[in-house]
Amino acid sequence: MRIKELKASKMEFETDLYWAIRDKQNIDKCFRDHRGRFTMWHIKDIRKSDETKNTETGNGTIAYKKIFKQAKLAGLKYAIVEQENFEIDPFESIDKSIKYLKGLE
C-alpha cells in the first residue's frame, strides 16, 4: 500500500530523518508529495568522521536548518530527538541537540 492510498485524516507518519537521509531519500520531495502527513520527525545527526554513527543535532552533516524550513509543509507537530553514540556525557549531548533545535525557531 502506498501513502497516497491512505486517508490523510486517518493516518499520520513519523519519519526518521537520519535514516532517510543516510539512505539518500529526497526529503524535500517526500514532504511536497505528502503535504501535512509527516507530523513526527525522529531526529539525530550523521557524524562527520563516521557516517555509520550519529552525533548531536547540528554537529553533523544533516542540513537541519533547511529541513526545518519545511516543517509547516510536512505538518510537523513533534520533533523527537535521539542519540545512540556518545562521545560526551549523555545529558550534555541531549542539551546540545535541544539548544541547536531551539535556535532554529
- Which CATH architecture fits 11-102? Alpha-Beta Barrel (3.20)
Classify each residue of 54-91 as buried b or exposed e, where b means 16 or more C-beta atoms within 10 Å of its C-beta: bbbbbbbebebeebbebbeebbbeebebebeeeeeeee
pTM: 0.83
Per-residue pLDDT tens over the stretch 31-61: 998 899 999 999 999 999 998 899 999 999 9
Count CA within 13 A, CB hemisphere, residue 80: 11
Over residues 80-90, the pLDDT tens digits come to 998 888 889 99
Hey, how many other C-beta atoms are within 10 angstroms of the C-beta on 94? 16
Going from N- to C-terminal start, the domains of the chain cover: 11-102
Helix (H) or strand (E) holding 96: helix 90-102
Q: Which range, of 9-18, 22-31, 43-52, 76-85, averages the lowest pLDDT?
A: 9-18
